[in-house]
Amino acid sequence: MAIWNLGSINADMVYSMPHLPAAGETLAARGLDRFLGGKGANMSVAATRAGSDVYHIGAVGPDGEWAVERLKEYGVGIGHIVQTDTPTGHAIIAVEPEGENQIILFPGANRALSLKQVEKALSMAKSGDILVMQNETSMQAEAAQLGRLKGLRVCYAAAPFDADAVQSVLPYLDFLILNEVEAQQLQQATGKEPGELGIKDVIITLGAKGARHINGETGAVSDVPALPVTPIDTTGAGDTFTGYVLSGLDLGLTVAEAMAQASRAGALMVTRHGTADVIPTLAELQAARF
Ligand code: RIB
């Protein structure tokens, strides 16, 4: 099968900082690196490196040709990425020595995707394919609805979290992934526990405690532990985890197997500085000793 990813494409400017700047503080960076990023692009690269056929549905500006070329070089299908007049999205990312980050996002072309573009791309998708979205593009609810109508497995990574955005796609979802704090926020907004949302599979990432799967049909809950690593940069680790989980499901692994593999990918990713460009391959995961 294949994975269709309605996802953001950003230029990531990653600043190594002595600490995360406080309000009103001026702070010199110790270094600057540039990466391909965006939660969408990171997931597309992760799922491709995990072995899936991935088709990215996205948009860049006149300044974004390099990003499309790089996705192509990494094996991601780029036939449904359009060029708009709006500049390419970018992110200014501060990372402190223990790996925590702070991100300023300029959405740019990611919010200029049209319904026509999404319809055209999804007309090529086949029943049983996976459709994934995150909250960094336009057309999320429209794509989710279309995906459901076409018999796709509709997945949503609720990041950056916005309760209204999640609720607009909820009726169409087969799979939802979010973190612990976001799960609490969603519960406050909907009045329902994650397992009561009517979604078949919900994964809640728990940071250093691992990740939890809730089967929305049976109510069964199972946890996958995190692996012991010393983080240097947590940026993109969640996207890597999600891309690997979806690829695992696409390639026929059980949810538990997909989560175990994704947890290795996420662990390796936090030991690396950068985003899409440094996402580990399946071979690197297999060789890694934790
Ligand atoms: O999750 C990390 C990503 O968030 C970065 O690549 C940045 O572009 C933002 O989208």
What is the CA(121)–ligand 1 centre distance, in A?
23
Share of the chain above pLDDT 70, in %: 100
Q: What's the burial of 227, exposed, middle or buried (CB within 10 Å: 0-12/13-18/19+)?
A: middle
Task: Say if ligand 1 is within 6 A of residue 235 CB.
Answer: yes
In contact, 52 and 77? CB cutoff 8 Å: no
What confidence category does residue 236 fall into, taking pLDDT thresholds of 50, 70 and 90? Answer: very high
Task: Say if ligand 1 is within 6 A of residue 92 CB.
Answer: no
pLDDT at 111 exceeding the cut of 90 = yes
What confidence category does residue 36 fall into, taking pLDDT thresholds of 50, 70 and 90? Answer: very high
Domain 3-287 in CATH 3.40.1190.20: yes
Atom of ligand 1 nearest to the CA of 91: 8
- Please write the tens of the pLDDT for every residue from 54-63: 999 999 999 9
State the average pLDDT over residues 192-213: 94
User: Could you tell me the residue ranges of all domains in the chain?
Assistant: 3-287
CB atoms within 10 A of CB 101: 18
What pLDDT does residue 34 have? 98
State the average pLDDT over residues 163-178: 97
Reported pTM = 0.97
pLDDT at 290 exceeding the cut of 90 = no
Q: How far is CA 61 from the centre of its chain?
A: 21
Atom of ligand 1 nearest to the CA of 8: 10
Which of 15, 34, 42 is the best mutation target for the ligand 1 pocket, counting ligand atoms within 8 Å of the beta carbon and taking the most? 42
What pLDDT does residue 203 have? 98
pLDDT at 208 exceeding the cut of 90 = no
